[in-house]
Amino acid sequence: MGYGQQDSQELLSYLLDGLHEDLNRVIDKPFVEIKEDDTRPDEVVAEESWNNHLKRNRSRIQELMHGQFKSRLDCPDCKKISITFDPFMMISLPIPTVEYTKFFLYFVFNSHDRIPIKITFNLPSNSSYSEILSKLQEIVKVPKKNIVMGLLKEHKLIEYVEAKVDALYLKEHAGILFAYEVSPTPFDPNYGKKSTQDDSTAVTDEEPTQMETENDEDPSSLIQTLLRVYIQAEAKAFYDSEKTISYTRLVKFEPSDSFKDIHLKIFERMRHHIAKYLDKEKGIKNAIKLDDRSRTTIEKEYSTLFPEDNESAWMYKVHLINSSKEDPRTGKKIPCEICQKAKCTRCLFPYEDTKFESYLEKMKLAPKDIIFELKLASKSVKIDSLSLNQCTEHKSDDNETNPNRNYNIYDCINLFTRKEKLEKDNAWYCSKCKNHKEALKKMEIYKVPPVLILHLKRFKTSKTSSIGPFYWSQGKKITAQIDFPIQGLDLSNYVLGKDKNAIYDLYAVSNHYGGLSGGHYTAYAKNPLNGNWYDFNDSRVSPVKENEIVGAAAYVLFYRKRESPSAEK
């Protein structure tokens, strides 16, 4: 073994493997063919693999210490699934070392009369987009598939958040995170249709009904544009995101909509706020009929509030932010399609019949490039009474995500059994794709042995290299304390196989003190005769109290299975 052997876990594997081979009753190991058949039930394949293992390995060590893993690999490309059952002598458990990241987002409901929520999260930094969405879904009760996230800066969309990001990215980005509820269908399925007399059929946002078949459509692929509401007089304060007069809303329309249609849809998005304002400030009760979302009604209200011949009466003006592109043929900026000016950044959006798709096409713009701004008539509109800037707060449960809590052995097992994507340099060869793939891997415990050895992976070995007796490492030792039970470690929920008896009691611990390059080992072990624990430290043996066994030095844990759950001491 030489000088290089410094690790008690490595020594142990080496020793047990050697002992097993020396004690192996199988002298001539038969060749065992491995059948690849994914269609058979786990039980059959697991048993076959185990029997194959026994054909070559029969020893006291095997009987006491060998268990069986189930490992599943999913090819990301061809969807091939490979399931194997492999023997183990020790389970190396990863230690959760996740840092937590605190960040917030604004959630804006689709329903006009629900005010946005500012939600503060405290999540593991590597939480995936999907995990963040799941948390969000729990809080706002909106299905994941109906949520789109965007990063906004100065009320402009920097980017739609996509699957590749994690929590840390969301914290460290430059913008403010917004999440929008979108229904995969336009706001009101009755919108644009001729109004019927039966208003009770009006579909509310909470009940996507007969349109559910379209739900497979990616909501971010539909045209939806951010709607920023601003007021000139407060322009200075406006860019300070905390003092905005409106949380940026989302409006959805279709490519075939005309400019008029879009005006009406924006108005429709604003109606609830305008109604509140008219009621509060002007004492006008029935100018807007919120229950009625038919086009006829909306159009009528619009023409009353926005008379064509009297611009000064308008509550707001709609501007289209012009993010003009270069013409690939001429290399010049494409002039504004609306005002024809070469340098137009913000254009008054006319109320006319032009189709929006023809504007997009001529400007070479994608739907997500589009942002509308509403400039409020500053003198006549009181901002507060519009309630566009209202928001409630939600803080996620701190107990659940408290970064300072102690992890326990079950957290490590959970992490061990979690699906993980293989790194590039550890890619899996997919026999169907005939190529190495960064497959999804999931490890699970199928069968547990009478003596279970759990190794806490305290040393990051990823960048360790050794030449002769010397070690270099850029890794570090994880010194966090992992709590583990001395009596009654219960793995029955983790064991997939049919023998669910998996209650264990601790009988020894290998401790490691110090850092990566050096350090000192001691061991705790229980005397089976008197039931007392002892500390084995070099040549000294001293009694140790049971409540001192669990500590940050614990490195390898030795458990013995209870014969039956009732045989408790």
Please give the DSSP secondary-structure letter assigned to residue 273. Answer: H
Which of the stretches 204-212, 427-435, 515-523, 525-533 binds Zn ion when contact is defined by CB under 5 A? 427-435
Least separation in angstroms between CB 346 and Zn ion: 8
Least separation in angstroms between CB 439 and Zn ion: 8
Q: Please give the C-alpha separations between residue 496 and each of 45, 81, 87, 113, 398, in angstroms, as whole numbers.
A: 13, 18, 14, 49, 33
List, in order, residues 6 or more apart from 525 with CB less than 8 Å away: 507, 508, 509, 533, 534, 536
Cβ nearer to Zn ion, comparing 64 with 78: 78
Which residue in 433, 440, 478, 552 binds Zn ion (CB under 5 A)?
A: 433
Helices (H), 306-369: 356-363
Least separation in angstroms between CB 73 and Zn ion: 10
Cβ nearer to Zn ion, comparing 80 with 118: 80
Is residue 87 exposed (0-12), middle (13-18) or buried (19+ Cβ within 10 Å)? buried
Least separation in angstroms between CB 344 and Zn ion: 3
Which residue in 78, 202, 391, 415 binds Zn ion (CB under 5 A)?
A: 78
Q: Residue 18's CB: how many other CB atoms inside 10 A?
A: 11
Query: In whole angstroms, what is the distance from residue 462 CA to residue 475 CA?
Result: 7
Query: In whole angstroms, what is the distance from residue 76 CA to residue 435 CA?
Result: 12
Cβ nearer to Zn ion, comparing 356 with 446: 356
Least separation in angstroms between CB 438 and Zn ion: 11
Is residue 369 exposed (0-12), middle (13-18) or buried (19+ Cβ within 10 Å)? middle
Which residue in 336, 376, 508, 554 binds Zn ion (CB under 5 A)?
A: 336
Least separation in angstroms between CB 324 and Zn ion: 9
- The β-bridge partners of 149 are 179
Cβ nearer to Zn ion, comparing 156 with 173: 156
Which of the stretches 145-153, 347-355, 459-467, 496-504 binds Zn ion when contact is defined by CB under 5 A? 347-355
Angle subtended by helix axes 295-305 and 259-277, to nearest 10:
70
Which of the stretches 221-229, 289-297, 310-318, 426-434 binds Zn ion when contact is defined by CB under 5 A? 426-434
Which of the stretches 35-43, 78-86, 194-202, 462-470 binds Zn ion when contact is defined by CB under 5 A? 78-86
Q: Residue 179's CB: how many other CB atoms inside 10 A?
A: 22
Query: In whole angstroms, what is the distance from residue 237 CA to residue 155 CA?
Result: 13
Is 347 among the residues that bind Zn ion (CB under 5 A)? Answer: yes
Which of the stretches 86-94, 204-212, 341-349, 515-523 binds Zn ion when contact is defined by CB under 5 A? 341-349
List, in order, residues 6 or more apart from 356 with CB less than 8 Å away: 253, 255, 256, 257, 258, 259, 261, 262
For residue 215, how many C-alpha atoms fall within 13 Å in the half-sphere facing its CB?
Answer: 12
Antiparallel, parallel or unpaired: β 482-483 and 407-408:
parallel
Is 516 among the residues that bind Zn ion (CB under 5 A)? Answer: no
Which residue in 149, 344, 506, 554 binds Zn ion (CB under 5 A)?
A: 344
Closest CA relative to residue 123, chosen from 396, 393, 418, 392: 396
Which residue in 26, 44, 339, 366 binds Zn ion (CB under 5 A)?
A: 339
Cβ nearer to Zn ion, comparing 265 with 319: 319
Q: Scan residues 199-258 and list those touching Zn ion (CB under 5 A).
A: none
Which residue in 123, 148, 315, 338 binds Zn ion (CB under 5 A)?
A: 338
Q: Please give the C-alpha separations between residue 191 and each of 269, 297, 372, 423, 520, in angstroms, as whole numbers.
A: 12, 11, 20, 49, 74
Least separation in angstroms between CB 358 and Zn ion: 15
x/- track of binding to Zn ion for residues 285-324 (CB under 5 A): ----------------------------------------
For residue 163, how many C-alpha atoms fall within 13 Å in the half-sphere facing its CB?
Answer: 5
Least separation in angstroms between CB 143 and Zn ion: 30
Is 430 among the residues that bind Zn ion (CB under 5 A)? Answer: yes
Cβ nearer to Zn ion, comparing 176 with 321: 321
Is 374 among the residues that bind Zn ion (CB under 5 A)? Answer: no
Residue type, 537: N
Please give the DSSP secondary-structure letter assigned to residue 281. Answer: I
Which residue in 405, 432, 500, 520 binds Zn ion (CB under 5 A)?
A: 432
Query: In whole angstroms, what is the distance from residue 353 CA to residue 375 CA?
Result: 22
Query: In whole angstroms, what is the distance from residue 505 CA to residue 450 CA?
Result: 11
Least separation in angstroms between CB 146 and Zn ion: 32
Which residue in 58, 80, 260, 355 binds Zn ion (CB under 5 A)?
A: 80
Least separation in angstroms between CB 263 and Zn ion: 16
Query: In whole angstroms, what is the distance from residue 263 CA to residue 374 CA?
Result: 11
Least separation in angstroms between CB 193 and Zn ion: 32
Which of the stretches 81-89, 274-282, 286-294, 342-350 binds Zn ion when contact is defined by CB under 5 A? 342-350
Is 370 among the residues that bind Zn ion (CB under 5 A)? Answer: no
Q: Residue 421's CB: how many other CB atoms inside 10 A?
A: 12
Least separation in angstroms between CB 426 and Zn ion: 16
Cβ nearer to Zn ion, comparing 78 with 496: 78
Q: Which helix (H) or strand (E) is 440 found in, with range?
A: strand 440-447
Closest CA relative to residue 159, chosen from 150, 168, 167: 150
Cβ nearer to Zn ion, comparing 368 with 436: 436
Q: Are 549 and 506 in contact (CB under 8 A)?
A: yes
How many binding residues for Zn ion (CB under 5 A)?
12
Q: Which residues bind Zn ion (CB under 5 A)?
A: 75, 77-78, 80, 336, 338-339, 344, 347, 430, 432-433
